[in-house]
Structures are given as structure tokens and as C-alpha cells.
């Protein structure tokens, strides 16, 4: 029996989860970092220094286990909705590698797959580089299925609503005296400013998207609490050469500024991350929490969407939305906040490679 049009995944017969990847044991750490930084000429000694973040957690990144949990949740959600879609997983920088996932798909007879990346926003490193990875993998794997990357989902309610609830829950963790005047620090991964400025079809999409989501979360918090909290967009995980400007302020530097101005409580909202990546458990839970404690500030960290049922359902909705569009229909494209739903295909020249142009799937003209 043919499924109803509302639950019809045609033309897709599979979903591919595409993620960053991470080491799973101490001996993986430096080789993983070499994969991440290939072509940048970073000395091994520097990679070993950066690797200390991972060694502090047993040499294992949390990201792969989080992806396994998301895979299980996606399979359960799709099956529960009556959608017969196989779900695969491939990484950019570590096993299971993307090309290996495509080989598995070829062996299973997959012809066309929707692709979800574990990055919600637009920039070279969070969008186009994944599209380049897809093009590379398709080139490597004979008979690879057609791959359609799903749109950026920073303003989909399935992403935003879990962030709102997590922010409210974190506020409730603060002592009452600190809660009323607490500042919300919306934290995302820093980028070179040149990369941020060139993001999106018209530039500056990365910061604009984050600010739009931040404003939506703040408005929802005000609706629930009756108080519009002070808030700032801050950054973490800068890793570039000192002479290259990156997005600022750093979360730890900003905590210093807030403490000097008399702020006694903060909530760190990892708005740039879909789950508790190393940047969250080290940069925020370890480093920034230590900074707040040293400064005598009450601090709490909001949860990431992870496998919140609304986030999991969002993936299904995005697949069905894109499937309808590919069939020539005009599906509802759900979005909240000040920006419209992001387009399915990236514009030509969107989020350019900072070194040299490279082939990328999922754009106008492909």
C-alpha cells in the first residue's frame, strides 16, 4: 500500500547522518586531530597539546556515542511513523567514515538518500565543508546513491524548543538571589572573522542566524518568566593562529567582564551545538565553569537538544518536507524567529572555501 502523501518519503529510500567524528580511545586522539587539521601545517607537538582536552576524558570524544543514540532514536521514530527508511551514519574525520557508509549503502541497494548534518548553522566549516565531503565520497565510491543534503535547521522549532526548555531548566538551577538578574550567555563555536563574514549567500549568515535564535529563545523565556533576561552571544574553541582575527568575545573573557560589573549568576546556553560535543563538556562544563567558580558567580549550563523527541521528530519532518519538494509539491517549511526557513540548495558562492574552490554537493548548479 502506498503511504499517504503526508508521510511519503519518495524519492528517498534512506537517511544518512553525517557528523564530525571523534576519537574513541587515547591512541586515536592525535591521528584524529591530524585528520581534522590536514593541509594546515600544524606541528604534531601542537596537536598533542590540543589532545590534552581529550585525554582528560579518557581519550574519548562523546560525539560518537551521541550519534549512536541519535541513530537509535531516529530509527525508532521513523518506524513509529510507518516510514520504511534505512538509516546510515558516516563521519568527516573518524570511523565510521563517510565513504565507508556510502559503500554500505551501495551494497544494500540504496538509490537516493536524504542527508542530515549534525550542524545547524551556515558557514564554511559547518555547512559547505560537509557538502565538499559528500562530493569527495561520491567520487570515491562507484555507484554511490544520489545524496540530497537537508536544509540548515537552526530555526526549526524541533531545534529551538528544546533549547528554550533547557534554558528555563538551567535558570531554575541557580540560587534565587542570582536567578532574577542572571545573564544568559549563548555560546557557539568561534570562527575566523573572514569565514563568518563570507557565510551565507549575502554574508554574515553565521552570526545573524545565531542572533535570530538567541532573540527567539529570550522572547520565549520572557513569556514564561515575565522577565526579559540580559543576554549576550559569546564564543568558544578558538584554535587559529594568534594573528588571525576570530569571532569574539570568548566566553571566559566575557565572564570576567560580567563579574567586574557585578553580575552574580549566568546560564551558559550552548546554542551552537546539537549535542554535548567536546566543546561543551570541556570548554563549558570544565573550563568555563571553573572560571565562574573562581569569579564567585553562580553558573548553570543548559542542555543541548541531543535526542529530545522534538529534535528527533524534526529530522523526520525535514525528510518529508524535502521529499515533497523533490516531487514538485510545495510543502510547509516550518521556522520560528526573524528569519525564514533556509533554502534546500545553497546559492552559488555560499560559504566559500577559504583556501580554494572545491566541488560540493547540495548547491545551485551542484
Asked whether residue 366 carries a pLDDT value surpassing 60, the answer given is no
Q: Using 50, 70 and 90 to split pLDDT, how confident is the model at 365?
A: low
pLDDT one-digit tens code per residue, 286-332:
999 999 999 999 999 999 999 999 999 999 999 999 999 999 999 99
pLDDT at 5: 61
Rounded CA gap, 295 and 286, in Å? 14
pLDDT at 2: 44
What is the H or E stretch that residue 230 is in? strand 230-236
pLDDT at 41: 67
Helices marked H in the chain: 29-36, 44-50, 52-55, 63-80, 98-107, 129-140, 157-173, 176-179, 193-197, 205-225, 251-260, 278, 289-294, 309-326
pLDDT one-digit tens code per residue, 195-235:
999 999 999 999 999 999 999 999 999 999 999 999 999 99
- The larger pLDDT score, comparing residue 342 to residue 36, is at 342
CB 239 within 8 A of CB 195: no
pLDDT at 247: 98
> How many CA within 13 A on the CB side of residue 314?
28
Span 140-160, average pLDDT = 98
Read off the C-alpha cell for 227.
Answer: 522577565
Rounded CA gap, 296 and 263, in Å? 10
Asked whether residue 338 carries a pLDDT value surpassing 80, the answer given is yes
pLDDT at 47: 79
The second-level CATH assignment, the architecture, of 157-301 is: 3-Layer(aba) Sandwich (3.40)
What CATH topology corresponds to 5-153+307-326? Answer: Rossmann fold (3.40.50)
Domain span(s) for CATH 3.40.50.1400 in the chain:
5-153+307-326, 157-301
pLDDT at 1: 39
pLDDT one-digit tens code per residue, 274-287:
999 999 999 999 99
pLDDT one-digit tens code per residue, 20-77:
999 999 999 988 988 988 876 677 877 787 788 898 899 999 999 999 999 999 999 9
Amino acid at each position: 500500500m502506498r503511504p499517504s502523501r503526508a508521510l511519503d518519503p519518495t524519492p528517498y529510500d534512506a537517511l544518512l547522518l553525517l557528523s564530525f567524528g571523534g576519537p574513541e580511545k587515547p591512541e586515536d586522539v592525535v591521528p584524529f586531530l591530524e585528520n581534522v587539521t590536514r593541509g594546515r601545517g600544524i606541528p604534531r607537538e601542537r596537536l598533542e597539546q590540543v589532545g590534552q582536552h581529550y585525554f582528560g576524558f579518557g581519550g574519548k570524544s562523546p560525539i560518537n556515542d551521541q550519534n549512536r543514540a541519535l541513530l537509535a532514536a531516529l530509527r525508532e521514530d521513523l518506524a513509529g511513523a510507518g516510514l520504511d527508511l534505512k538509516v546510515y551514519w558516516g563521519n568527516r574525520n573518524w570511523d565510521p567514515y563517510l565513504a565507508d557508509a556510502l559503500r554500505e549503502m551501495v551494497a544494500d541497494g540504496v538509490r537516493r538518500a536524504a542527508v542530515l548534518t549534525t550542524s545547524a548553522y551556515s558557514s564554511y566549516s559547518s555547512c559547505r565543508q560537509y557538502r565538499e565531503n559528500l562530493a569527495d565520497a561520491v567520487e570515491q565510491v562507484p555507484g554511490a546513491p544520489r545524496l540530497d543534503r537537508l536544509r540548515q535547521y537552526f530555526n526549526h522549532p524541533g531545534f529551538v524548543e528544546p533549547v528554550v526548555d533547557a534554558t528555563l531548566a538551567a535558570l531554575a538551577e541557580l540560587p534565587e538571589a542570582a536567578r532574577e538578574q542572571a545573564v544568559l550567555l549563548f555560546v557557539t563555536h568561534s570562527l575566523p572573522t573572514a569565514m563568518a563574514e563570507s557565510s551565507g549567500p549575502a554574508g554574515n549568515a553565521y552570526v545573524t542566524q545565531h542572533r535570530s535564535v538567541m532573540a527567539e529563545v529570550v522572547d520565549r523565556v520572557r513569556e514564561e518568566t515575565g522577565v526579559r533576561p540580559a543576554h549576550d552571544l559569546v564564543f568558544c574553541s578558538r584554535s587559529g593562529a594568534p594573528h588571525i582575527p576570530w569571532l569574539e568575545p570568548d566566553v571566559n573573557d566575557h565572564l570576567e567582564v560580567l563579574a567586574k560589573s557585578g553580575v552574580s549568576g549566568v546560564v551558559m546556553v550552548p546554542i551552537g551545538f546539537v549535542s554535548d560535543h567536546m566543546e561543551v563538556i570541556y570548554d563549558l562544563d570544565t573550563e568555563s565553569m571553573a572560571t565562574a567558580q573562581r569569579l564567585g558567580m553562580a553558573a548553570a549550563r543548559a542542555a543541548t537538544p541531543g535526542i529530545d523527541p522534538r529534535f528527533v521528530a524534526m529530522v523526520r519532518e525535514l525528510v518529508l518536507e524535502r521529499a515533497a519538494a523533490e516531487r514538485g509539491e510545495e510543502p510547509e517549511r516550518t521556522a520560528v524567529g526573524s528569519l525564514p526557513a533556509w533554502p534546500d540548495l545553497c546559492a552559488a558562492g555560499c560559504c566559500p572555501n577559504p583556501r580554494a574552490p572545491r566541488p560540493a554537493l547540495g548547491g545551485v548548479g551542484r
